[in-house]
Structure 1
Amino acid sequence: MNRTFTFLPPLIGCGVLLAVIAWLLPSWNFVLAIGMAKGLPVLGLVLLMRGGLVSFGQGLYYALGGYTVGLASQFWGVKDAAVLLVCAVVFAAVVAFIIGLLLSRYRDIFFAMLSLAFSMLLYGILVKSTDLGGTDGFNIHGVTLFGLPLTGADRMNGFLLLIVIGVLGAINLGLFASTAFGRLLSGVRDNEIRVEYLGASANRAVLIAYILAAVMAALGGAMSGIIVGHIDPEMAFWATSGEFVVIAILAGTGGVIAPFLAAVVLEVVRSFAYQYAPNTWQLVLGLIILALILFLPQGLSGLMRRGPRAANAGEKS
């Protein structure tokens, strides 16, 4: 098999496994769906991290995706998820292109803080906008996919749609990583001056990666709004963007599957911690995250790579 597609069988296998788990344990559909929805912006964030860039503002596009779906469905009467997702992607891509023209010129802490500033700017606008529900946000009802309901008792349909979007998104970013611009990201991280001397544009590579990351975040926000049935300004708050960064650290930068697994694991751990330690669940969750970072410095992707290396070592011996 072409090395470009080596991630495809395990990716599809993980998607099928999650669908089976959701079917066998319908009470966990909601938790798994939220984890998958958060995995999409983390997937884009991992792509940026390969270029040595950390964005603390992915909540901007997470919220844009959710509010695009909310506005189009509740105020403009668009109820088909396919149309809503396309609107969210196009809007996020346009905004990311405009903002990315500025951010692509910056690196390190300047990139991180500027991305955070834009996200908090949107948060401030949403909080002060009474027409959009202010701090309470507003509900989303009646979204379907070609006539199939995606919420309520039929949330399984929405979860299956999330799996399809996640698989397609992972394939898209996996293919991008194998292109010339995708390979440039590691060069931008290691030695940007050498990249420029070779005649390539580091800023253009960062811009493309930033737009792709924004699209992934918008898809996650759109699906979160559809599944939860509610959107609010907290989607753009710094804590949401910070959570994406934590999940990205837990996932590592070595693959396209780990971001979804890390997001689902964190969401499941959060649910158990809240259920069995309701007064100290933040402390329990923080300790578990700290342990994962200490004992898995390369994230889940490093653990996943360790298995094949061990198997190969056994075969050679």
Structure 2
Amino acid sequence: MNTTINSIVLMRGAQRHSRPLHALATTVGTFAALAMLGLYVPAWLTYLITVAAGNALVSLGIVTLMRGGVVSFGQGMFFAAGGYGAALLFNHAGWTDALALAIAGGALAMVLALPFAPLLARYRGIFFATLTLALSMVAYGVLMKWPALGGSDGFTVGRSTLLGQRLDGPEGSYKLFLLTMAFAAVIGFLARAYFASPVGLVTLAARDNELRVEYLGASVRRLIGANFLMAALFGGVGGALVVLSLGHVEPAFSYWTTSGEFVFIAVLAGYRSVPAVFIASFLLEIVRSFSSAYFPNTWQLVLGLFLLLVIRFLPQGIGSLWTREAR
């Protein structure tokens, strides 16, 4: 009873303090600041931010599911679907525009998730996590054994274009960085608006007491199914953008360790804040890059210790540092 009342109070408080114009201004200002930053930072840091933003979009899908009380350990399947979709369209269909490839990657991942959404929406807890993990590993097996998709080696992707201009050299990398930041800004803003909407807040209430939400007339299964499709869309877009940056796609995109990294980011960020997901993804890339450079044989240990420290001192994630409800 108390948890349901708290959820309703939280919903009303969030609606009262929701400021779409402020959020939009913050998003535009952040994008402008990152665009200026990209002109002056080293190329390796620009690349690192690009990959981190693409990975953050994938983890944002997990955060969307976490708000409903479930966690996907198979987000790598949609990450791979977006990457392979963009790569196949580039190599075999003649699509070269990075904007179109990213959108197509997200659409393909959502189509792939469509048949499984009604089934997975019936399960919770470890059952949901295990089923999503199983689907991801089935996709990994298919990618490994299908010669038309490059087998275990995958295949490369050439340099794409953007609005007719080829993305070559440092200038091209900067434009791809801007495109990734634009996708991150738009999707992040839409996700934040969705979380603050009545549907998003009902999903958050279902995390506390699903049965009482059903009594109020909402279908939790439909909410979980819709969130699963949204997570697939985010994962596909992120996968396509990362593949365009890397220039290569391989079956490891769908392996369970890749999905684990996305869960790592989601846990590190918490489910209450959208910006925290991007910050957590960037922190993970920084820690992994420097730990692998200075501790090449024990960098996984450094990552593990980093996560343990965050869980110990920030059990609700990085977002709890500035989220009012968490405090």
TM-score in terms of structure 1 length: 0.92
- Check if 1:300 corresponds to 2:318: yes
Secondary structure of the equivalent of 1:40?
Answer: helix
Q: CA deviation at 1:78?
A: 0.9
Contact 1:151–1:227 (CA under 8 A) maintained in structure 2: no
- What aligned pairs does 1:230-245 form with structure 2 within 5 A after superposition? 230-245=248-263
Contact 1:148–1:157 (CA under 8 A) maintained in structure 2: no
Partner of 1:118: 135
Distance 1:236 1:166, change over 3 A: same
- Check if 1:18 corresponds to 2:34: yes
Q: CA deviation at 1:203?
A: 0.6
Contact 1:68–1:87 (CA under 8 A) maintained in structure 2: yes
- Check if 1:224 corresponds to 2:242: yes
Contact 2:61–2:235 (CA under 8 A) maintained in structure 1: yes
Amino acid across the alignment from 1:53: V
Computed over aligned residues only, the root mean square deviation of the Cα atoms, in angstroms, reads: 1.8
Q: CA deviation at 1:256?
A: 1.0
Unaligned segments of structure 2, at least 5 residues: 1-16
Q: Aligned partners of 2:157, 2:251: CA distance in 1, in Å?
A: 14
Distance 1:273 1:18, change over 3 A: farther
Partner of 2:24: 8
1:251 corresponds, among 257, 269, 294, to 269
2:156 corresponds, among 111, 115, 139, to 139
Q: Which moved more, 1:277-286 or 1:109-118?
A: 277-286
2:298 corresponds, among 280, 288, 297, to 280
- What aligned pairs does 1:32-47 form with structure 2 within 5 A after superposition? 32-47=49-64
Unaligned segments of structure 1, at least 5 residues: 310-317
Contact 2:106–2:235 (CA under 8 A) maintained in structure 1: no
Contact 1:88–1:219 (CA under 8 A) maintained in structure 2: yes
Q: Aligned partners of 2:99, 2:179: CA distance in 1, in Å?
A: 10
Q: Aligned partners of 1:219, 1:179: CA distance in 2, in Å?
A: 23
Secondary structure of the equivalent of 1:39?
Answer: helix
Q: Aligned partners of 2:311, 2:26: CA distance in 1, in Å?
A: 24
Q: Aligned partners of 2:99, 2:36: CA distance in 1, in Å?
A: 24
Post-superposition CA distance 1:8-36 (Å, at most 9, x none):
34433433333333321233111111111
Partner of 1:53: 70
Amino acid across the alignment from 2:265: I
Q: CA deviation at 1:178?
A: 2.6
Contact 1:39–1:260 (CA under 8 A) maintained in structure 2: yes
Q: Aligned partners of 1:294, 1:149: CA distance in 2, in Å?
A: 47
Distance 1:19 1:289, change over 3 A: farther
Amino acid across the alignment from 1:195: V
Aligned residues: 308
Q: Aligned partners of 1:96, 1:125: CA distance in 2, in Å?
A: 16
TM-score in terms of structure 2 length: 0.89
Partner of 1:86: 103
- Report the identity percentage: 42
